[in-house]
């Protein structure tokens, strides 16, 4: 055992005391956090299989609501694409003459949500019907053409379901209109279903967030239990409860962050897998269909929220577990 000039005075020298007492609290705080963050990362790395399994479970739990979100977004996108081709048929009363039909078509054409209006005469309607199988004979039996003028109203691209519904109501209220056939009713039903789906996604996200909280909590609980001896030593040599707890809080943050990143990667993989079939479907609909991907803010928000969840789970459990161990 040797001695050096530095170690010949184990008792606090005046300079050492001064350094301790004047050390800026922020520096100590920063040192503590840096050490705790690194120590918790080392602990995760020291048991790679267990850590990866935990992160995988949490990542999958977070990826599921994201996958549902993607699915719904794409169904919505499909609905939008199909909805753009839908035409509203406005049947005029049989007493309406060509002049009235043209006038109404002009009025309707000035409506905000309308892209185009085509006037179909009763004769055109009769011709179309006569081409359909089974109608020809029946039509020959008629003395007069019973069909009215029909206005085919093409709504603007990207019109919302609410705006389309308002347009239909406006059309119904116009003078000379007998009936409005809204082939976009299915769209309203789809939107209603999407509303249910969106709510289901939120509920799923909340449930899986709770699952993440529980997984992190249980992992931290097991970790604290297995490190009871270490915690005892730390307390004996002067560690505060906050110091003892901090690595576990960082562990929660790491678990959350990594699982959030994994969830985003999985969701992007799902998005990538959808590109090719969506492209084929898009060809069918004249290139109007595009894959709805995850918005960029979500790519950042999911890992951040997962890290927050991990921290919360670790905080709740460590507070309880360390109080029990005290």
Partner 1 sequence: MIRFDQVSKRYEGGHEALSQLTFEVAKGEMAFVTGHSGAGKSTLLKLLALIERPSHGHISLDGQNLAKIGRSGIPKLRRSLGMVFQDHRLLMDRTVFANVELPLVIGGIAPLERGRRVRAALEKVGLLDYERQLPASLSTGEQQRVGIARAIVAKPDVLIADEPTGNLDPQLAVEIMSLFAEFQQFGTTVLIASHDLPLIKRMKKRVVVLDHGRLVADVAAEEVL
Check residue 287 for interaction with partner 1 (CB under 8 A).
Answer: no
Check residue 240 for interaction with partner 1 (CB under 8 A).
Answer: yes
CA end-to-end span of the chain: 37
Check residue 136 for interaction with partner 1 (CB under 8 A).
Answer: no
Check residue 290 for interaction with partner 1 (CB under 8 A).
Answer: no
Piece of the chain touching partner 1 by CB under 8 A; list 22-30, 139-147, 161-169, 196-204? 22-30
Piece of the chain touching partner 1 by CB under 8 A; list 24-32, 174-182, 194-202, 296-304? 24-32
- Of 234, 268, 305, 316, which one interacts with partner 1 (CB under 8 A)? 234
Check residue 319 for interaction with partner 1 (CB under 8 A).
Answer: no
CB 92 within 8 A of CB 150: yes
Check residue 133 for interaction with partner 1 (CB under 8 A).
Answer: no
Nearer to partner 1, 44 or 164 (CB): 44
Which strand (E) or helix (H) includes residue 154? strand 150-155
- CA dihedral (260, 261, 265, 271) in degrees, to 10, reads 50
Concatenate the DSSP letters of all residues of 203-236 into one string.
HHHHHHHHHHHHHHHHHHHHHHHHTHHHHHHHHH
Piece of the chain touching partner 1 by CB under 8 A; list 31-39, 112-120, 174-182, 288-296? 31-39
Q: How far is the CB of 235 from partner 1 (least distance, A)?
A: 7
CB 254 within 8 A of CB 310: yes
Close Cβ partners of 313 (under 8 Å, ≥ 6 residues apart):
212, 213, 214, 215, 216, 217, 220, 252, 256
Close Cβ partners of 212 (under 8 Å, ≥ 6 residues apart):
58, 61, 62, 256, 259, 306, 309, 310, 313
Q: How far is the CB of 231 from partner 1 (least distance, A)?
A: 10
Piece of the chain touching partner 1 by CB under 8 A; list 134-142, 191-199, 214-222, 228-236? 228-236
- What is the C-alpha R_g of the chain? 34
CB 65 within 8 A of CB 275: no
Ranges within 207-226 binding partner 1 (CB under 8 A): none
Check residue 322 for interaction with partner 1 (CB under 8 A).
Answer: no
Backbone angles phi, psi at 286, to 5 degrees: 55, 40
Check residue 48 for interaction with partner 1 (CB under 8 A).
Answer: no
- Give the interface with partner 1 as residue ranges (CB under 8 A): 1-4, 6-13, 16, 20, 23, 27-29, 31-32, 35, 46, 230, 232-241, 243
């Amino acid at each position: 055992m040797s001695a050096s000039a530095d170690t010949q005075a184990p008792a606090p020298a005046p300079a050492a005391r001064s350094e301790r007492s004047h050390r800026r609290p922020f520096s100590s705080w920063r040192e503590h956090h840096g050490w705790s963050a690194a120590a918790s990362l080392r602990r995760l790395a020291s048991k790679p299989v267990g850590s990866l399994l935990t992160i995988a479970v949490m990542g999958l739990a977070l990826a599921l609501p994201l996958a549902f979100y993607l699915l719904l977004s794409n169904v919505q996108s499909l609905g939008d694409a199909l909805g753009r081709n839908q035409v509203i048929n406005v049947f005029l009363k049989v007493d309406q003459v060509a002049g009235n039909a043209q006038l109404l078509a002009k009025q309707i054409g000035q409506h905000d949500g309308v892209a185009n209006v085509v006037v179909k005469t009763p004769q055109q309607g009769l011709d179309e019907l006569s081409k359909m199988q089974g109608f020809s004979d029946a039509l020959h039996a008629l003395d007069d053409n019973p069909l009215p003028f029909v206005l085919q109203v093409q709504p603007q691209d990207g019109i919302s379901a609410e705006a389309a519904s308002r347009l239909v109501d406006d059309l119904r209220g116009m003078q000379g209109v007998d009936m409005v056939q809204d082939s976009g009713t299915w769209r309203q039903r789809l939107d209603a279903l999407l509303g249910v789906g969106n709510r289901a996604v939120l509920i799923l996200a909340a449930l899986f967030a709770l699952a993440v909280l529980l997984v992190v909590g249980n992992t931290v609980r097991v970790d604290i239990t297995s490190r009871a001896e270490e915690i005892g030593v730390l307390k004996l040599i002067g560690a505060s409860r906050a110091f003892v707890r901090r690595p576990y809080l960082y562990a929660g943050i790491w678990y959350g962050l990594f699982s959030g990143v994994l969830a985003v990667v999985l969701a992007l993989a799902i998005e990538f897998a959808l590109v090719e079939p969506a492209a084929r479907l898009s060809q069918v609909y004249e290139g109007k269909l595009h894959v709805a991907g995850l918005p960029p803010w979500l790519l950042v928000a999911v890992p951040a929220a997962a890290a927050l969840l991990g921290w919360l789970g670790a905080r709740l459990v460590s507070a309880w577990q360390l109080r029990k161990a005290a």
